[in-house]
Chain A
Amino acid sequence: MEAHPIESPADKPNGPVAAGLLAAGISALVLGILTTVGEASEGFKEWLQWNDRVGPLSGKVLIETAVFVVGWGALLLPLREKHLPWQTTLIATGVLLALGFLGTFPTFFQAFAPE
C-alpha cells in the first residue's frame, strides 16, 4: 500500500509538462504533414531542401525541431501555473503523435506521390 495518494492538490501544476507533451505531439504532426505534402508536391519538396547535401529532410527536421522548441515555449507561457486534466492532455498528445506517425509512414505518404 502506498504511503501517499497518487495525486494531491499540493502537486506542482502540470502545465509545463502538458506544454511539452503537446509540443512533442504537434511537432510530430508537423513532421508528418511536411513529409506527406513534400511527397505530393515536387515544388514543396524542393522548398524543403534547405541544405543540398541533406536534401528535403533538412527542412522537415529543422521545422519539426523549431515547432517543438518554440511551441513548448509558447504553450508554457499560458500553461505554466495551470493544472490540466491528465487524461485530456494525454489523449490529445496521443492523437497528435499517431497522426505524426501516420504521416511519416512510407506506405501512407508514398500514396500521395504524383503518378
Chain B
Amino acid sequence: MELSTREFWALIHGLILGGVFLVAFAGALAGLWSMRPELVTEQGIRERIRRLSIGMTTMAAVAWLTVVTGTWIVYPWYREDVSSSARSRLLADPDTADWHEFAMEWKEHIAWIAPTLATVAAFIVLYYQRDLLRNQTARRLAIALLVASFTIAAIAGILGALITKNESV
C-alpha cells in the first residue's frame, strides 16, 4: 500500500491538520468555557492559562498551515488545465459542475477567513492572560471567535471532503 505525493499532501491538508485543528478547538473551547473565577483555583489558573496559550496558538498556526498547504500545494493539482484534473472532470459533467462552481468556489475563499479569526482569538488569550478571569467580555469574545473560526473551517472541510468524494486530486 502506497500513497502518491498528491494523496500524501491531501491527507496532510485535510486529515492531519484538520484533526489537530479539531482537537485544539475542543481543548481551547473547554478551557475558555470554564475560565471563570468560581471554577478555578489559584494553582489551576496558572496551569489553565499555560495550556490555553499553547492550545490557542497551536490552533491558529494549524489554521494558517491548513489554508497554505491547501492553496499552494493541493489546489494547483485540482485546477490543472488538463482534462484529467479534478476541476476539469467536475465541469465536464453538468451533474457535477456545481461541485466546482459552488462548493469549491466557496470553500477556496472563505477558508482564508478562519485563520484570521483564530489568530485574534489566540491573541486575546495571550494578551489578557489571567485577566480573562475578570474580563468576561474578552473571554466570551475569544469563545465567539473560536467558534466562528471553527465553523468556517468546518464548512470548508466538509465541502472539501465532498468534492474529493466526487473527484479526488
Contact = CB atoms under 8 A, between A and B. Distances in A.
Interface in B118-141: 119-120, 123-124, 127-128, 131, 133-138, 141
Main secondary structure of the interface of B (DSSP, over half): helix
B120 A24 contact: yes
A105 B106 contact: yes
Interface residues of B, number: 34
Interface string A71-93: 00000000000000010001000
Given A55-B79, A61-B67, A104-B109, A11 B120 contact: no
A115 interface: no
B110 A104 contact: yes
Nearest to A13: B127
B7 interface: no
Contact of B112 (A31, A55, A106): A31
Nearest to A8: B134
Query: Which range holds the interface residue count of chain A?
Result: 35 or more
Contacts of A35: 109
Contacts of A27: 113, 116
Interface string A14-48: 10110011011001100100010000000000000
Interface string B38-72: 10000000000000000000000000000100011
A57 B113 contact: no
B9 to A, nearest CB: 13
Interface in B83-138: 101-102, 105-106, 108-110, 112-113, 116-117, 119-120, 123-124, 127-128, 131, 133-138
B40 to A, nearest CB: 11
A41 B36 CA distance: 51
Main secondary structure of the interface of A (DSSP, over half): helix
Contacts of A5: 134
Given A12-B127, A68-B116, A2 B108 contact: no
29 contacts: A1-B38, A2-B36, A4-B37, A4-B134, A6-B136, A11-B131, A11-B134, A12-B127, A14-B138, A17-B138, A17-B141, A21-B120, A23-B116, A24-B116, A27-B113, A28-B116, A31-B112, A51-B72, A54-B71, A57-B71, A57-B75, A57-B108, A57-B109, A58-B71, A60-B112, A86-B137, A101-B113, A105-B106, A106-B101
Interface of B: 36-38, 67, 71-72, 75-76, 79, 101-102, 105-106, 108-110, 112-113, 116-117, 119-120, 123-124, 127-128, 131, 133-138, 141
